[in-house]
Structure 1
Amino acid sequence: MKLDTFCTITVLWKMTIRAFLLLTPALVFFPYEVEGLTTISETNHFAYGANIGWLEWSGDVENGAEIGEYVCSGYIWGANIGWIVPGSGTPANGIRYQNNSATDWGVNHDGTGKLRGYAYGANIGWIAFEEIGDPRVDLVTGKLSGYAWSANCGWISLSNVQAVVQTVCLRPGVDADRDGIRDAWELEYTNTLAIFGVDTDID
């Protein structure tokens, strides 16, 4: 099963469980842990920095990191440094972060697995996902590899012999016009949401 298809199924399943819990107020005890809105694996979710220790990519489960088809978002928790934000999930151009202003920054996914851009931690500043550390996500296994660089904290390893960060899916992204085509894809190839739609594919 493709990573993006699995993600859609996973998200729908999580939403179904949440809806069930919301619609069942009399249910006092639910024996299964309900996952939060993160794409990170329950078993493989730690990165490591020699100067800052372990970084929890599933956050507090409700607020974990999300690896998307175009951008990363959510939160990463470091017990020694606090929260790190890989992006808001809403780039200014609707496709990818431009990393050129205080309101449009984050880590992009280029579609081939490369992760490039900047994450930010209020206590440590910018973290660069650049060519030199070659941070990436394997599009088959979902495992992250490579390094991110913090001028204040040094290298952060996304995988090592003890731990690895793994995403169970790539977040598909927003489909604001509900035409079954992700907005970022439409904007990337047509610069508008008005050309493609449910009635435009005539073959």
Structure 2
Amino acid sequence: MQRGYALPVSHQLPIVGQPQPERADAARNRQKIIQVAARMIELKGADQLSLDEVAREACVGVGTVYRRFGDRTGLVFALIDERERVFQEAFMNGPPPLGPGAGAAERVAAFLTALVDRVVDQQDLMLLLELGSPKVRFRGPYRLYHTHLTRLLAEVRPAVDPRFLADALLAPLNAHLISYQRDERGLTVEAIKAGARTLAQALTQPRA
């Protein structure tokens, strides 16, 4: 069974444009921008998020926002950061079956069901992230999820490229499909999670 592990810094969720450590004034500006962006999303929806408008509402220069976060996707990464770090800690070092201590197959199923909850928790922001280019969409959280699943799948399906299997398991758990399944097909979150468990079991159970 796997023990907890620490991934390289490059695999952890980046807050785009954030230097470490921050000056006090820079930290205050960052927090103000994030709070304003979160409030705007709550009032208007994530698809209406505009960096220019965020800058005006936060009373900071537009250049400050762009230097800080790079683009809208960078700001969204910052908005999901806190909850994302809690999720990452849970599957890397938390209690089983999501964390270390359970078998690899069981952990794969637990991860996929937990990921459904993670996507639903901040669905509007996840939808926004998926509108970026593939280079953006498949960095940050996705890269970490893929690394985690690849390690687990290498234990249970060593004869198949675990990197491909990791992509195959993550593909149906994107925010746009989950949103469609809930809104148009009437699927409950529990039904989607049950489907994810079935998919995980199909790929990880020993073959005769």
Q: Give TM-score scaled by structure 1 length.
A: 0.26
Q: Give TM-score scaled by structure 2 length.
A: 0.26
